[in-house]
């Protein structure tokens, strides 16, 4: 693959990405711009990749590198992609080795932009990003956080571990087009916490890994992804907008707002069915009066609510639920699909170390149309990709 490096300070993070790629056996040719070398020098890229590094088209001309590098690549991944580099790519300019490579590549191309918020939001950049996406490139939205100076906002390069995950997800799809491009999807993840007092809550074991895998894989397939995350401590997936919530009520509110304009919603969060009737404002003290039993009241069913309001709020939206079952997995799953009224129900067997917190997952996906899809045990990213395959079949 080709790692294109633009002239932004985040170039230093691309070293870590390169390291991860080469350590996992990928052959990586680094093609920096001349400006990128002002941030990280040629010896670093050459040593980490084990391959020669040039920025111009006049070195090793006998090997025609300005054409060959792009033609031979299985993936071109540009990180960081600056506003200038994307403008050149959108306009089809070819004045250095990287822009030539982008013009000759016929493999998947991913841009991971990093710049100041003002530059990302400028109409010129918006138009260039739209052009690149319309031509089939995946442009990952930058992350929100600390920028070069003391300021923060949208514009950060996502964490190298998540860029690495995105690169692998795109690579393993081979030459397949980003089939979720132009679609907005919303995924919920994690587990809600229902406050008892300011320091205690009722919660569950959901780690958020499956929901994060769904968000990550959707972004790698070109989707505009919003991830509503309830109490998850995982790095934000690359290219995904993350909305953080705590309780079931907050999750319900966020989902209702975010589902508007989305073609698909996936409810993988573990939502508490009940919450304490009373949540007290001060910590319950051991020395005080014994608190007595915690009285519970039922939470609204977010998934069923999204289905009920679909016709008025989001006609045609595909809605996917998850079911965590310990016993009679399929029978309970079928009954739940009927009860919730969603289009697809991903039925997981939980308990005994399965699903919650584990790296692997397995499921049967039941469709409202009677379809049954078995997804064998494998990484959560694999399960997520299979779920998106089923969603893509149902998109308008």
Active site residues: 204
Phi and psi angles of residue 17, each rounded to the nearest 5 degrees, phi first: -60, -45
Residues 316-355 that bind ligand CTP (CB under 6 A): 321-324
Cα torsion through 146, 149, 153, 159, rounded to 10: -40
Strand order in the sheet with 29-32: 29-32, 2-5, 76-81, 109-113, 138-139
Smallest gap from residue 355 Cβ to ligand CTP (A): 11
Smallest gap from residue 302 Cβ to ligand CTP (A): 3
Smallest gap from residue 70 Cβ to ligand CTP (A): 43
Q: At what angle do helices 97-104 and 83-91 cross, to 10 degrees?
A: 50
Smallest gap from residue 370 Cβ to ligand CTP (A): 20
Examine residue 232 and tell whether it contacts ligand CTP (CB under 6 A).
no
User: Which of 130/372 has CB closer to ligand CTP?
Assistant: 372
ω into residue 80 within 30 of 0, thus cis? yes
Examine residue 267 and tell whether it contacts ligand CTP (CB under 6 A).
yes
DSSP-assigned states of every residue in 313-351 = HSTT-EEEEEEEESSSHHHHHHHHHHHH--SEEEEEE-B
> Rg for the chain (alpha carbons), in Å?
23
Instruction: Give whole-number Cα distances, 234 to 20, 211, 231, 242, 244, in Å.
Output: 18, 11, 9, 11, 12
Examine residue 212 and tell whether it contacts ligand CTP (CB under 6 A).
no
Number of residues that bind ligand CTP (CB under 6 A): 13
Examine residue 85 and tell whether it contacts ligand CTP (CB under 6 A).
no
Binding segment for ligand CTP (CB under 6 A), chosen from 63-71, 78-86, 209-217, 264-272, is: 264-272
User: Which of 331/372 has CB closer to ligand CTP?
Assistant: 331
Contacts of 51 (CB under 8 A, 6+ apart): 27, 28, 29, 30
User: Which of 78/232 has CB closer to ligand CTP?
Assistant: 232
Examine residue 256 and tell whether it contacts ligand CTP (CB under 6 A).
no
User: Which of 12/274 has CB closer to ligand CTP?
Assistant: 274
- Which residues are registered as beta bridge partners of 200? 197
Among 273, 296, 368, 378, binds ligand CTP (CB under 6 A): 273
Smallest gap from residue 165 Cβ to ligand CTP (A): 24
Smallest gap from residue 251 Cβ to ligand CTP (A): 8
Binding segment for ligand CTP (CB under 6 A), chosen from 43-51, 83-91, 150-158, 297-305, is: 297-305
Among 30, 83, 303, 375, binds ligand CTP (CB under 6 A): 303
Examine residue 227 and tell whether it contacts ligand CTP (CB under 6 A).
no
Binding segment for ligand CTP (CB under 6 A), chosen from 29-37, 223-231, 265-273, 352-360, is: 265-273
User: Which of 170/228 has CB closer to ligand CTP?
Assistant: 228
Smallest gap from residue 192 Cβ to ligand CTP (A): 8
Strands 318-325, 360-367: pairing is unpaired
Nearest to 263 by CA among 308, 216, 229, 226: 226
Residues 167-196 that bind ligand CTP (CB under 6 A): none
Strands 76-81, 29-32: pairing is unpaired
Instruction: Check if the beta carbon of residue 223 is closer than 8 Å to that of residue 184.
Output: yes
Instruction: Give whole-number Cα distances, 58 to 66, 71, 158, 258, 337, in Å.
Output: 9, 18, 33, 50, 62
Instruction: Name the residues that contact ligand CTP, by CB under 6 A.
Output: 248, 267, 269, 271, 273, 299, 301-303, 321-324
């Amino acid at each position: 693959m080709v790692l294109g490096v633009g002239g932004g300070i985040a170039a230093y993070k691309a070293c870590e990405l390169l390291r991860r790629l080469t350590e996992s056996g990928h052959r990586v040719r680094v093609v920096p711009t001349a400006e990128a070398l002002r941030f990280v020098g040629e010896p670093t890229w050459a040593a980490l990749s084990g391959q020669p590094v040039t920025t111009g088209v006049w070195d090793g001309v006998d090997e025609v590198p300005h054409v060959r590098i792009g033609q031979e690549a299985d993936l071109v991944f540009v990180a960081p992609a600056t506003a200038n580099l994307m403008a050149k790519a959108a306009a089809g300019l070819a004045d250095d080795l990287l822009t030539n490579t982008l013009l000759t590549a016929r493999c998947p191309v991913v841009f991971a932009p990093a710049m100041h918020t003002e530059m990302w939001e400028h109409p010129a950049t918006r138009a260039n990003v739209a052009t690149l996406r319309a031509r089939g490139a995946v442009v990952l939205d930058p992350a929100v956080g600390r920028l070069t100076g003391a300021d923060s906002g949208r514009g950060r390069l996502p964490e190298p571990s998540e860029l690495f995950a995105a690169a692998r997800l795109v690579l393993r799809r081979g030459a397949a087009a980003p089939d979720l491009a132009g679609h907005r999807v919303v995924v919920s993840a994690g587990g809600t916490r229902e406050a008892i007092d300011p320091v205690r809550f009722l919660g569950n074991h959901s780690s958020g890994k499956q929901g994060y895998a769904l968000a990550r894989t959707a972004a790698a397939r070109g989707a505009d992804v919003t991830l509503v995350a309830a109490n998850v401590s995982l790095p934000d997936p690359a290219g995904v907008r993350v909305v953080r919530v705590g309780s079931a009520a907050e999750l319900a509110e966020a989902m209702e707002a975010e589902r508007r304009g989305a073609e698909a919603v996936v409810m993988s969060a573990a939502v508490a069915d009940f919450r304490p009737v009373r949540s007290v404002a001060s910590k319950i003290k051991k020395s005080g009066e014994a608190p007595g039993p915690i009285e519970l009241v039922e939470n609204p069913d977010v998934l069923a609510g999204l289905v009920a309001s679909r016709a008025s709020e989001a006609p045609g939206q595909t809605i996917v639920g998850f079911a965590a079952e310990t016993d009679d997995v399929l029978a309970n799953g079928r009954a739940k699909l009927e009860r919730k009224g969603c289009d697809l129900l991903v039925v997981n067997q939980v308990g005994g170390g399965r699903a919650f917190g584990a790296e692997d997952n397995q499921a049967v996906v039941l469709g409202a149309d009677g379809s049954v899809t078995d997804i064998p045990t494998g990484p959560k990213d694999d399960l997520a990709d299979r779920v998106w395959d089923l969603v893509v079949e149902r998109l308008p």
